[in-house]
């Protein structure tokens, strides 16, 4: 964040829990692939290798699953 301080608006990733008009509750977050493909380049930050992005994506999925059980 020293080289690209604007990335701090998007990183660390955040999750949003919200309820729709029908009363269904949702958990929404940006995927690791979205971060790598759009967020990092927008701030001039090199995306991590594909293996790291996939590992982070798996971590996000596991955290979302645990949070919604």
Report whether 30 contacts 13 (CB < 8 A): yes
Q: What tens digit of pLDDT does each residue of 4-58 get?
A: 999 999 998 999 999 999 999 999 999 999 999 999 999 999 999 999 999 999 9
pLDDT band of 2, cuts 50, 70, 90: confident
| C-alpha 19: how far from chain center | 20
Given a cut of 80, whether residue 1 has pLDDT beyond it is no
User: How crowded is residue 44: how many other Cβ atoms within 10 Å of its Cβ?
Assistant: 10
């Amino acid at each position: 964040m020293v080289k690209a301080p604007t990335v701090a608006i998007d990183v660390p990733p955040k999750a949003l829990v919200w309820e729709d008009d029908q009363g269904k509750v949702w958990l929404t977050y940006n995927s690791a692939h979205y971060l790598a493909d759009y967020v990092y380049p927008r701030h001039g930050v090199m995306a991590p290798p594909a293996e790291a992005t996939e590992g982070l994506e798996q971590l996000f999925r596991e955290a979302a699953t645990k949070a919604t059980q």
